[in-house]
Amino acid sequence: MTQAAAQELAQFGITVNAYCPGIVGTKMWDQIDEEMANYMNLEKGEAFKKFSGDITLGRPETPEDVAKFVSYLASEDSDYMTGQSVMIDGGVIFS
């Protein structure tokens, strides 16, 4: 979808990119943790620890980590970038 939108909107000078976050320590992950804990028969907080424990950089992502990359995408520094899906997850994909 990102690439298709980038191709369609390029003629209007619009770039389209996707940000693919990892495990971000937010209230949304609190809810995911609670639901996963019920599903996996774990205590509250254990699912979050299980999924974020093997992140290569050693910590879950923060909202500030998200903001830094999204700020880059919104800046002129990314004007020649389009059609990309960027995974910024601290290395969780390697676990």
Domain span including residue 33: 2-94
Among 1, 2, 12, smallest CA distance to 82 is for 2
> Structural domain tally of the chain?
1
| Amino acid, single-letter form, for residue 3 | Q
CATH number of the domain within which 36 lies: 3.40.50.720
- Looking at residue 54, its pLDDT comes to 87
- Looking at residue 95, its pLDDT comes to 45
For 33-67, b/e burial (b = at least 16 CB within 10 A) is: beebbeeeebeeeebbeebbeebeeeebbeeebbe
Give this prediction's pTM. 0.80
% of residues, the chain, pLDDT over 70:
97
User: 25-51: per-residue pLDDT in tens?
Assistant: 999 999 999 999 888 999 989 989 988
3-state secondary structure of 86: strand
Banded model confidence at residue 61, pLDDT cuts 50, 70, 90: very high
